[in-house]
């Protein structure tokens, strides 16, 4: 059994009854929508037409929101409905990044994620969803796609249907009849900063202006003009998430370098590798964890990640990795402090693996954020590892400089940083300048390379944060430490831009 929807846009008159009936049935607060009607217009007078599209959760058979949700708050029922359980939700908003359809929001009353759930509470007592029964035109058809006799199955069998973003591989179960591609496909639409009878919230307008500026055609060649849409929460993830990425690089980097050094036969108990590296790791792991928890809408439920875990979610794996890594770092530090530095030789390999995993697991997490094409990059893992190297070398250099450590040791670190920065330059160039397979990813990259953020990127990340630190490696270890500070700053700017850009292109 698989419940799905057919939305017959040949019948839909754009009346918004479904929108309001849904709000009533599910007590959806202002500013949030579980289903909504988008309007677009095409043509020139008098050959003009307005088209509508009823948009909502697609109850995907391969639902990325279910995969990414760390606490099984989102789940696919055996009858095909993708439902959610607010009592398990920690408010991490990763589902909002995973969904390519803009279907999720955070309910301000419960501070947990919500979306269309096919009125599962009604289905349970044998009733159709509220939007289906209110529709004056019976344009929304609900039913079992697997029952060949059902109306919905017959429609899907006999009529030409479309789905939104089939290329995302989500196997959506909302099928459109007679829909206008100009309404379903956001990439075909021009931009607008207000609608025919509604405003757009200020937060959206910034994005609209930015994205419009990098559109090659300035929207002139667009198929359709959006004339009505509901507000969508721009950028669920903010500075706390970019700071988390940055802090995590600093947590992972020092022990990554130290463990390589130890495995390569270096002295395990030296000041920088013996104490500073694990101490930095522990300190910044603490910061990483704090940022992660603070970014949750329900921070007090943080432990659900461990105790109500979805083992398919990279967020869960990340939590375990960070815990394990913290444990190894703590042992490392404890061994050295307890004068048993030789034990570190046994910790070096696990530390290497876990530091790499700590730095790199985010590639899998952002990879599960399937709504954001820009983040779906195979270069993300190398970028994160290189970032950890840069951050590790830079932070150790700074500590070394501050603590007046052995200058020869710092020289090696400087060289590591220079090489890592060189690699970083290559990876970022490849990431941003190599043509992107998807338009959304290309637009996000363009925001960084030639749009709103070109100055912080070229000036801050590339010139001041990558090239200059490389140059500063040579004069003295002191200048190398200064370079390290610049490299960390550049890294911070990059993570911030990367997190913002990925969320700047509209999903619907």
Partner 1 sequence: MSATDPRAPEPLHPVARELAPPRGGLRSYPPVERWDDWEEYDPAAWPRKVTRRYALIPTICFNCEAACGLLAYVDKQTLGIQKFEGNPAHPGSRGRNCAKGPATLNQVNDPERIRYPLRRVGPRGGGQWERVSWDEALDDVSRRIRTALVEGRHKEIMYHLGRPGHELVYLQRVFHAWGIDGHNSHTNVCSSSARAGYAFWHGMDRPSPDHANARFILLLSSHLETGHYFNPHAQRIIEAKERGARVCVIDSRLSNTASMADWWLAPWPGSESALLLAMASVLVRERLYDREFVRRWVNWEEYVRAERPDLPVSFEAFEQALGELYARYTPEFAENESGVPAATLVEVARTIGSAGSALATHVWRNAAAGNLGGWQVARALELIVVLMGAVATPGGTAPSAWNKAVPAPPLMPPPAKVWSELLMPREYPLAFFEMSYLLPHFLKEGRGKLAVYFTRVYNPVWTNPDGMSWIEVLTDPEKIELHACLTPIWSETAWFADYVLPMGHASERHDLMSQETHAARWIGFRQPVLRVMLERQGKTFDLTWQAHEAAGLGQVWEEDEFWIELSWRIDPDGSLGVRKYFESPDRPGQKLRIEELYRWIFEHSVPGLPEAAAKEGLTPLAYMRKYGAFLVEDQVYHTHEQPLSADELHGAQVDPVTKVVVKGGQAVGLEVDGVPRLGFPTPSRRLEFFSRTLKEWKWPEQAVPSYIRSHVHWSKIDRAKGEMVLLPTFRLPTLIHTRSGNAKWLYEISHTNPLWLHPEDAARLAVVTGDLLKVTTAIGYFVDRVWATEAIRPGVIACSHHLGRWRLHRDAGGERWSTALVDLQQVERGKWRMRQREGVRPFASDDPDSARIWWTEAGVHQNLTFPVQPDPLSGQHCWHQKVTVAKAGADDRYGDIVVDTNKSFEVYREWLTLARPAPGPGNLRRPLWLPRPFTPDPSAYSLGGSAGVE
Question: Interface residues for partner 1 in 120-139 (CB under 8 A)?
Answer: 120-128, 130, 132-138
226: helix, strand or coil: strand
Angle of helix 439-449 versus helix 407-433 axis, rounded to 10: 130
For residue 394, what are its two tokens? 């830079």
Nearer to partner 1, 23 or 301 (CB): 23
Q: Could you tell me which stretch among 81-89, 254-262, 435-443, 498-506 binds partner 1 (CB under 8 A)? A: 81-89
310 binds partner 1 (CB under 8 A): yes
144 touches 2 (CB < 8 A): yes
Q: What's the min distance (Å) between Cβ of 51 and partner 1?
A: 7
CA dihedral 333, 336, 342, 348 (to 10 degrees): 20
Q: Pick one of 5, 6, 7, 19: the residue that binds partner 1 (CB under 8 A).
A: 19
Nearer to partner 1, 49 or 303 (CB): 49
Nearer to partner 1, 75 or 411 (CB): 75
| Strands ordered across the beta sheet of 161-162 | 140-144, 3-8, 174-177, 161-162
- What's the residue count for the chain? 508
Distance CA 487, CA 230 (A): 41
Distance CA 266, CA 259 (A): 9
230 binds partner 1 (CB under 8 A): yes
Q: Pick one of 103, 106, 142, 410: the residue that binds partner 1 (CB under 8 A).
A: 142
Tell me the number of residues near partner 1 by CB under 8 A.
81
20 binds partner 1 (CB under 8 A): yes
Distance CA 272, CA 338 (A): 16
Q: What's the min distance (Å) between Cβ of 110 and partner 1?
A: 8
Nearer to partner 1, 11 or 345 (CB): 11
Q: Pick one of 16, 111, 240, 450: the residue that binds partner 1 (CB under 8 A).
A: 16
283 binds partner 1 (CB under 8 A): no
Q: Pick one of 7, 21, 89, 384: the residue that binds partner 1 (CB under 8 A).
A: 21
Q: Pick one of 56, 117, 232, 500: the residue that binds partner 1 (CB under 8 A).
A: 117
Q: Which of residues 143-202 bind partner 1 (CB under 8 A)?
A: 143-144, 146, 150, 192-194, 196-199, 201
Nearer to partner 1, 16 or 239 (CB): 16
Tokens 């006799």, located at residue: 149
Q: Pick one of 6, 7, 68, 72: the residue that binds partner 1 (CB under 8 A).
A: 72
80 binds partner 1 (CB under 8 A): yes
291 touches 240 (CB < 8 A): yes
104 touches 113 (CB < 8 A): yes
Distance CA 498, CA 503 (A): 9
387 touches 491 (CB < 8 A): yes
Q: What's the min distance (Å) between Cβ of 335 and partner 1?
A: 39
14 binds partner 1 (CB under 8 A): yes
Per-residue DSSP letter, 29: P
Q: What's the min distance (Å) between Cβ of 273 and partner 1?
A: 42
Q: Could you tell me which stretch among 37-45, 334-342, 356-364, 398-406 binds partner 1 (CB under 8 A)? A: 37-45
210 binds partner 1 (CB under 8 A): no
Could you tell me whether strands 105-107 and 112-114 are parallel, antiparallel, or unpaired per DSSP bridges? antiparallel
**CB neighbour class for 402 (10 Å; exposed up to 12, middle 13-18, buried from 19):** exposed
**CB neighbour class for 204 (10 Å; exposed up to 12, middle 13-18, buried from 19):** middle
Q: What's the min distance (Å) between Cβ of 198 and partner 1?
A: 6
Number of neighbouring beta carbons within 10 Å of residue 101: 23
**CB neighbour class for 30 (10 Å; exposed up to 12, middle 13-18, buried from 19):** exposed
46 binds partner 1 (CB under 8 A): yes
Q: Could you tell me which stretch among 113-121, 252-260, 344-352, 481-489 binds partner 1 (CB under 8 A)? A: 113-121
DSSP string, 322-346: HHHHHHHHHHHHHHHHTT-GGGHHH
Q: What's the min distance (Å) between Cβ of 508 and partner 1?
A: 16
111 binds partner 1 (CB under 8 A): no
232: helix, strand or coil: coil
Q: What's the min distance (Å) between Cβ of 446 and partner 1?
A: 24
Nearer to partner 1, 173 or 436 (CB): 173
């Amino acid at each position: 059994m698989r419940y799905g929807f057919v939305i017959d846009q040949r019948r839909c008159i754009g009346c918004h009854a479904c929108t309001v009936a849904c709000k009533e049935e599910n007590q959806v607060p202002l500013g949030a929508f579980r289903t909504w009607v988008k309007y677009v217009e095409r043509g020139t007078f008098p050959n003009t037409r307005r088209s509508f599209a009823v948009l909502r959760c697609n109850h995907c058979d391969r639902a990325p929101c279910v995969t990414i949700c760390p606490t099984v708050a989102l789940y696919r029922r055996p009858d095909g409905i993708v439902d959610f359980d607010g009592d398990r939700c920690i408010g991490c908003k990763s589902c909002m990044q995973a969904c390519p359809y803009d279907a999720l929001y955070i309910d301000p009353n419960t501070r947990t994620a919500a979306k269309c759930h096919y009125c599962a509470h009604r289905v349970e007592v044998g009733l159709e969803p509220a939007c289906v029964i209110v529709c004056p035109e019976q344009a929304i058809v609900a039913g079992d796609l697997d029952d060949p006799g059902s109306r919905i199955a017959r429609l899907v069998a006999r009529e030409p249907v479309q789905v939104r973003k089939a290329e995302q591989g989500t196997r959506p179960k909302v099928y459109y009849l007679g829909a206008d591609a100009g309404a379903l496909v956001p990439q075909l639409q021009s931009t607008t900063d207000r609608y025919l009878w509604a405003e757009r919230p200020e937060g959206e307008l910034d994005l609209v202006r930015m994205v419009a500026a990098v559109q090659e055609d300035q929207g002139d060649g667009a198929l359709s003009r959006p004339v009505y849409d509901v507000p969508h929460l721009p950028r669920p993830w903010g500075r706390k998430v970019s700071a988390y990425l940055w802090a995590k690089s600093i947590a992972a980097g020092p022990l990554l370098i130290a463990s390589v050094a130890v495995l390569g036969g270096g002295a395990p108990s030296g000041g920088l590798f013996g104490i500073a590296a694990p101490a930095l790791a522990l300190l910044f792991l603490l910061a990483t964890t704090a940022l992660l928890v603070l970014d949750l809408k329900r921070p007090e439920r943080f432990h659900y990640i461990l105790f109500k875990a979805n083992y398919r979610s990279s967020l869960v794996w990340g939590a375990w990795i960070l815990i394990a890594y913290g444990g190894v770092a703590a042992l490392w530090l404890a061994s050295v402090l307890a004068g048993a530095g030789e034990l570190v030789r046994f910790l070096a390999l696990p530390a290497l693996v876990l530091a790499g995993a700590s730095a790199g697991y985010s590639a899998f997490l952002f990879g599960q954020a399937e709504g954001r094409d820009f983040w779906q990059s195979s270069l993300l893992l190398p970028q994160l590892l290189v970032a950890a190297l840069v951050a590790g070398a830079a932070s150790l250099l700074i500590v070394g400089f501050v603590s007046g450590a052995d200058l020869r040791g710092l020289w090696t670190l400087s060289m590591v940083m220079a090489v890592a920065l060189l690699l970083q330059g290559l990876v970022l160039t490849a990431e941003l300048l190599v043509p992107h397979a998807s338009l959304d990813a290309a637009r996000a990259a363009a925001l960084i390379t030639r749009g709103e953020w070109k100055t912080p990127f070229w000036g801050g990340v590339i010139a001041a944060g990558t090239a200059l630190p490389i140059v500063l490696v040579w004069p003295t270890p002191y200048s190398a430490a200064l370079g390290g500070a610049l490299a960390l700053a550049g890294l911070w700017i990059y993570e911030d831009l990367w997190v913002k850009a990925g969320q700047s292109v509209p999903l619907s």
